[in-house]
Amino acid sequence: MDILRLLDQLHELAVDSPKSLGPIVWGLNKDEISMQIAKVRASLPSEVKAAAATVRESDRIVESAKVDANSTLDGAKKDGERLIEEARLEAVRILEQAKLQQQQMVGESEILKLSKAQSEEIRNSADRDALAMRRGAEKYALDVLTQLEGVVGKVATTIERGKREMDRPEPVAVGTVREKARA
């Protein structure tokens, strides 16, 4: 919290750096300043302390969500790449199989025509299968990213709620202001 850091800086200025001119040292009463700063810290509303804890927790959640998101995205990429590679290998295998079948059928012209048609059908089938596998991999990646979007949305909601609580002004009682002015 900024207020806690400011109190630390005030303490350093008032207590840790006395002024001196030769043998004469002047400054503030260190004990009195330290006591007043301790009183200010102790009288900070619990909401300020809770808000600081909320901010730390929000930062931790965001960092955890980033790590989870990166891990999930990496896993989805690897799965997608694996599926695409499997589809490519299957397509190559099917094409090689089609070529072998075509070479075996080259003997007669009628068989040659049939072979070409079957080869084309196998090639088209391989292309359709590869496309279907790729679409499946892309759908899987989209599903993972959609789930990740939901997690990030929840984190953003938590952060917004914490910010709203921190921005809410605290009412100050008139008597309390007068008492602090006297102290």
Q: What is the pLDDT of residues 40-81, one digit of tens each?
A: 777 777 777 787 788 889 999 999 989 988 998 899 899 989
One domain for residues 38 and 91? no
pLDDT at 111 over 90: no
pLDDT digits (tens, 9 = 90+) for 15-27: 666 666 666 656 6
Q: What is the pLDDT at residue 60?
A: 92
One domain for residues 34 and 115? no
Q: Are 106 and 115 in contact (CB under 8 A)?
A: yes
Q: What is the pLDDT at residue 171?
A: 64
Report d(CA 56, CA 137) in Å as an integer. Answer: 37
Q: Which domain holds residue 18?
A: 1-44
- Structural domain count, the chain: 2
